Amino acid sequence: MASDSASGPPQDLQAALERSQQEAHALRTELEETNRGVLALYAELDAQADQLRQATELKSRFLAYMSHEFRTPINSIRSITRLLLDRVDGPLTEEQEKQVSFIQQNASEFAEMVDDLLDLAKVEAGRVEISPAWFEMVDLFSALRGMFKPVLTNPAVNLVFEEPQDVPRLYTDDRKLSQILRNFISNALKFTPRGEVRVSAKFESDERVTFSVADSGIGIAPEFHRTIFEDFSQVQSPLQKRLRGTGLGLSLSRKLAELLGGSVGLTSEPGKGSVFHVTIPVRLQDAPVE
Ligand code: ADP
C-alpha cells in the first residue's frame, strides 16, 4: 500500500498549506486595498496642496491689489493735511491744528501698514528682486542714524550705533537689510520708555555677520518668542496693546532675512529688554570679485 509521503503531502500538511495559501491571498487582497487607499490619500493630499497653493496665491494677489489701491487715497489725505497744516488755505485754530495733526499721524501709520502688506504680498508671491551690491557697514549705520534722528522724540532713550569692528565689506541687498534693521529699531524705540537702544554688528567665523538691536525696554514674555515672527502676531500686554501696529513688521523681517540667505532671532526677558538679531552671509552667492 502506497504511503502518504509517496502520493503527496499528508492530509494535515496539505490542509496547513491550503490555509496558509488562503491567508496569503487574504493578506494580498488586504494589502492591495490598503495600497489603493494610500493612493487615494495621496491624490487627496495633492489636491489639497494645490488648493492651498491657489489660496496663497489668491491671498497674495488680493493683498497686492488692495494695498496698491489704498495708496492713492492715503497719499491724497496726507497731502491735504500737509496743505492745511502749512496754512495754504488760511489760518487754523489751535483745536483744528490738533485734529489735522491727528489725521496726518493716522494716515502715516496707515500708509506704513499698507507698505508692509504690499511688501509681504510681494515676498509671498516670489516677486521680490534681490539687488546685491558691495557696501560698507559704516555707511549703512550712518544712513540709519540719519533716518532715526528726526523721530527720536523721547529724551529718556538713547539710540547708539556701535562702531562695527572687523566687519568686512558686504555683498548683499543693503535696502532689504536696512528694512529689517529699521523694523527692529523702530520696535525697540516704541517699547523702550527709558534707557537705551543699541545697534551693533559682529563678524562670525563662518563668513556670516550678525546685526543686533538690543533695548532696555519692557521685554517679551517667553510664550511669545516662537510666534512673534509670524504674520499678524502681537503680544498681549497693556503697553504692547496700546502701541499695536499691524503685527506684520517682524514677519516681513524674517522673510526678507531668508531671502538674503539668513535668519532672525530673539532673546528677551520681561522687564529687562530684548535683543532682536539677524544673521546673514557676508556675501550672497555668486558675489563678483571686488
Ligand atoms: P507691529 O506692527 O505690531 O509692531 P511687529 O511684527 O513689528 O508688528 O511686532 C509684533 C509685536 O511684537 C509688537 O506688536 C510688540 O508687541 C512685540 N515687539 C516687537 N518688538 C518688541 C520689542 N523690542 N520690545 C517689546 N515688544 C516688542
For 35-91, how does the pLDDT look when each residue is reduced to its tens digit (9 = 90+)? 999 999 999 999 999 888 888 888 878 877 887 888 889 999 999 999 999 999 899
From 180, 250, 256, 269, give the residue whose CB has the most ligand 1 atoms within 8 Å, as the site to mutate.
Answer: 250
C-alpha cell read off for 146: 540719519
Evaluate: CB of 188 within 6 angstroms of ligand 1.
yes
Task: Extract the C-alpha cell encoding 22.
Answer: 488562503
- Does this model's pTM top 0.75? My answer is no
Strands 195-203 and 208-215: antiparallel
Measured from the Cα of 235, ligand 1's closest atom is 16
The 10s digit of each residue's pLDDT in 169-189 is: 999 999 999 999 999 999 999
Domains of the chain: 1-128 (1.10.287.130), 134-281 (3.30.565.10)
Q: Check residue 154 and give left, alpha or beta (phi > 0: left; psi -120 to 50: alpha).
A: beta
Looking at residue 8, its pLDDT comes to 59
pLDDT in tens, 246-274: 678 898 999 999 999 999 999 999 999 99
Q: For ligand 1, is residue 60 a contact (CB within 6 Å)?
A: no
Buried b or exposed e, range 18-34, using 16+ CB within 10 angstroms: eeeeeeeeeeeeeeeee
C-alpha cell at 23: 491567508
